[in-house]
Chains A and B, each alone.
Chain A
Amino acid sequence: MARQNGPASGAPDDQTRTRYLDPDEVRVFRDEDGRLFATVAEELTVLRPRFLRVHPLTDPDRYLAIVGPDPEGKDFGLLRNWRRLDRESRDIVNGELNRRYLHPVVKRIMSLRDYFGVAVCVFDTDRGLREATLRDVRDNVIYLGQSRILLTDAEGNRYDIRDVGALDAASKAMLAEVL
């Protein structure tokens, strides 16, 4: 497997080889009509690229795939660290990621009432306040490591609690009631 940055050797169509992109050779921009482009080392221009996280949950800031817009989604390569892109590109990628990944991170649990296994709670998240109904809580929780949990509510929305231990005491106590 190609380990260095930069274009991998071999045919560009070689789908078995991972191409790691150098942040310096990637540019992301919009034209005057607002259409999104990504260019790779002057050799390749992708119209309406999609930026997909390789590890959206466990390592969201690293390993970003640049993929074509079609459903087939041709993979143009991976960025190990997209934050090293130039400023304009970085801002656009950040906006695109923010748009694609709706991933509210819970900062505080404002209230939680348990009605025989169905919990109605209000989360204070990085995207604002939200009331969520948690049904079968224990069946709808994913443990990522020992202190991080992902809750899915009755409507299919997910909430990330990055570190249960770091929540305030009241939030922790409320969470303990349903977990």
Chain B
Amino acid sequence: MVVEDDSLPKSVRDALPGVASSSIRLSAEADLATDGRFGERWVVLADDRVLTVASEDGEARVQRDLALTDIDEFKLESLVGGGVLQAVVDGREVDLISYTNALSKRFADVRTQLEAALKDKPIPEAPDRIFRCPKCGMVLGERTRVCVRCVRRGAMLRRLLSYARPYRAGLALVSVLMIAAAAFGLVPPWLTKILVDDVLIPKANPHLLGWLVFGLLASSVLSTVLAIWRGRVAAWLGGRTSLDIRAELYDRLQWMSLRYFDHHPTGTLVSRLTQDSGGVQDFLAFGLPWVASNLIIVFGVAGAIFALNWKLALLVLVPAPLVALLTRSLIRRVRLAFHKFWYGWSRFHTIVNDALGRVKIVKAFTRELDEIERFRFRNMELFGASVQAEQTFATFFPIIGFAVMSGSLLVWYFGGRLVIGDAGLSVGGLMAFLAYLAMLYGPLHGLAQSAQWMSRAMTAAERIFEVLDSEDYVERAPGKTVPEELRGEVEFQKVTFGYEKSQPVLKEVSFEAEADRMVGLVGKSGVGKTTVINLLCRFYDPDEGQVLVDGVDIRDLDLGAYRGHIGAVLQEPLMFSATIAENIAYGRPDATTEDIIAAAKAANAHNFIIKKPDGYDEQVGERGDKLSSGEKQRVSIARAILRDPKILILDEATANVDLETEELIQEALARLIEGRTTFTIAHRLSTLRNAHKLLVLEEGKVAEFGTHEELAKSKGVYSRLLNIFRKTSRVRAVDG
């Protein structure tokens, strides 16, 4: 079978000595030369030879040519920033080809393929690892299908506005009000013209005076009332629209996979929800209507002055292109400056969260002064960014003002000459002209200012859409199987997974756990015990292989319903800032008071809870700080009992609790695990003995799987760990 994932260039193909095209079974491109420089390299499997080819400036030459029969095995050595594919020849590793992190998954597949060839098995097809935009070839995010290069910019604004679509009626009302308000705003200068030309200068038509003044009053009042009405409706529309965006954003964030949160600091996400959606709200509620109404006024005024005297109007509009050009070039700089400013805010958030959230450690290590210094640095940085943003804006604004102002001087001079020469402009006309011109300044300033609104909103929207477009979330899988009841049989089938794509934590892990039995996870720290749990809870999905529950891939189960069958008691029990009762009922909000008490009782927690001044209504404080670690532990056991899960995750606490509390916890746990498939990360010898099966992990692989007795006898990894364990427990016993 021919497997060609990367198409081999002709120059490389031609460089292969005595290799017919038809005999090429596999080829893959790498991106590093042996001296560590970037460069094009190829590894080719042809018949039973493995060749590596260096390709530089269209010239290719073979670097290595090995016979498969001389090779014992293929290995990958993982290096910092990349890796190397090696062949073991005569017990010695030979570097075949080096690659950067970009290709580490690809070469894991290549190794598997070469190994298959070595064992005379059919070469498996490699999954497509390279995620590029089919249109422009740009690298996409690992789980994003949206290519920003191919997204049109105007589409951003349209997309933002699409959120207003459900409120079409409101939008139409605002538009009508805007046009009407602008139209009434144009009336007063025109009435002034009539007043001057037909009443004041000829000193005639006194009956008109009253009507004209009434007209002035009426049009002003109407235009004001309409403006207020428009403002109120627009505020509701903008607020409502950004409410929808915020809701969608938060909804999306809640369903994001933990992998996403690993890569995005909470401070950044908080700032997207607060600052960025605030920016979008300002724009929608205030900025956009302001821009729209200013545009209408500008067009209205332009129409009016052209009607008065088109030549003079043209002259006034001379500075307009200049203004437009200035706006365009400065818009970019304002945008960049504000970008920096928002970023500064987000980092500022992160550092404040960090230091205040860990204030105990700061104090314990007397690092207050350093924290103040760290804060001072970020604070200064934020100051710098805000000054730059505001100063850029402050510079931009008056320059435009001046450019517009210069127009009125032209009107006084040329308009004045027209009036003196009786050349088509009356005194009233000139006054009206100047009044219209004055009306033009405000909106033009407003439009210039809209650069700020626009840039702020567009960058904010961009950041929000980035989250909305990221597909890095665990699917809720609607319409898939909803497990009503689980038996609780768990099976891992060749599960490979890594938090970072190049570093698998679990490698082809397979094991089976029977229902209602307890599996103890054993191994040194960092070996992948918690990762097994994370995959079982479907916090992450495996990169390869399957996790089966009752014989069904858990990806085919409704996530919410599936998690409903899982309960966890973690080493560091997570508490919400709420009452004890609310914390216990977190997994089953509909639980009655009696359910909660029963659970607390079974968890040996009831007794300490009722002794609290506020009993079950006691606030546990942020992260449960007001409870002792033994208390938190029991509250979390009660939470798990109340949830009544079929699959139970237990991360045993190593926390120092007194013997009596320890016994209470042990008792509570013994009650909890009955009738459930339990996975426990064991830290106690007693747990190891009680577990029905032990899963011993080493280097991300299953080293041993069996009962305590079997493994203790086998003189393998487990019996070695057991010895260390016994020694340390003895020390602990002596210490205690």
Contacts and interface: CB of A to CB of B under 8 A. Distances in A.
Contacts of B100: 102, 155, 157
B502 interface: yes
B675 interface: no
B148 A117 contact: yes
A155 B129 CA distance: 11
Interface in B557-611: none
A138 interface: yes
Interface string A118-130: 1010000101111
Nearest to A103: B81
Nearest to A34: B92
B102 interface: yes
Interface stretch (B43-51, B134-142, B665-673, B689-697): B134-142
Contacts of A165: none
B146 to A, nearest CB: 10
A116 B140 contact: no
Contacts of B151: 115-116
Contact of B466 (A35, A133, A136, A153): A136
A177 interface: yes
Interface in B136-157: 138-142, 148-149, 151, 153, 156
Contact of A139 (B138, B268, B500): B268
A127 B82 CA distance: 14
Contacts of B149: 115, 118, 120
Interface string A127-168: 111100101101110000000000001111110000000000
Contact of B263 (A115, A138, A139): A139
A71 interface: yes
Contacts of A98: 35-36
B148 A99 contact: no
B138 A156 contact: no
Contacts of A177: 336
A116 B139 contact: no
A123 to B, nearest CB: 10
Contact of A157 (B35, B95, B101, B346): B101
Given A127-B37, A177-B336, A102 B79 contact: yes
B101 A155 contact: yes
Contacts of B32: 102
Contacts of A125: 38
B659 interface: no
Contact of A100 (B80, B265, B462): B80
Interface in B185-221: none
B648 to A, nearest CB: 32
A176 B140 CA distance: 23
Interface in B36-71: 36-39
A138 B142 CA distance: 17
Contacts of A179: 340, 343
Looking at B32, B100, B463, which has the most chain A CB atoms within 10 Å of its CB? B100
Interface string B332-366: 00001000100100100000000000000000000
A72 B729 CA distance: 23
A133 B133 CA distance: 12
Interface in B279-310: none
A56 B102 contact: no
Interface in B84-128: 84, 92, 95, 98, 100-102, 104
Contacts of B340: 179
A135 B683 CA distance: 41
Contact of B153 (A116, A156, A158): A116
B265 A133 contact: no
B462 A116 contact: yes
Contacts of A99: 36, 79, 84, 95, 98
Nearest to B130: A155
B35 A158 contact: no
Given A99-B36, A116-B462, A118-B149, A154 B104 contact: no
Contacts of B35: 98
A36 to B, nearest CB: 10
Contacts of B82: 102, 157
B579 to A, nearest CB: 36
Contacts of B346: 138
B39 A156 contact: no
Contacts of B148: 115-118
A154 B139 CA distance: 7
A14 interface: no
Given A115-B149, A127-B38, A157-B101, A133 B139 contact: yes
B462 A117 contact: yes
Contacts of A153: 102, 139
B168 to A, nearest CB: 28
Contacts of B81: 101-104, 157-158
A33 interface: yes
Given A116-B153, A156-B104, A156-B502, A135 B38 contact: no
A94 to B, nearest CB: 11
Contact of A156 (B36, B79, B156, B501): B501
B79 A129 contact: no
A128 B39 contact: yes
Contact of B80 (A33, A56, A154): A56
Contact of A176 (B92, B141, B264, B336): B336
Contacts of A155: 100-102, 139
A33 B263 CA distance: 44
Contacts of B617: none
A90 to B, nearest CB: 17
Nearest to A176: B336
Contacts of A156: 101-102, 104, 500-502
B264 A154 contact: no
Nearest to A113: B149
A116 B344 CA distance: 18
Contacts of A71: 699
A102 B95 CA distance: 15
Contacts of B36: 98-99, 102, 127
A7 B141 CA distance: 50
21 contacts: A71-B699, A100-B79, A101-B80, A101-B81, A102-B36, A102-B80, A104-B81, A120-B138, A136-B263, A139-B264, A139-B268, A154-B139, A155-B100, A155-B139, A156-B500, A156-B501, A157-B81, A157-B82, A158-B101, A176-B336, A177-B336
Given A99-B79, A99-B95, A155-B102, 7 more contacts: A100-B80, A116-B151, A133-B138, A138-B343, A139-B268, A154-B139, A179-B340
Interface of B: 32, 35-39, 79-82, 84, 92, 95, 98, 100-102, 104, 138-142, 148-149, 151, 153, 156, 263-265, 268, 336, 340, 343, 346, 462-463, 466, 500-502, 699
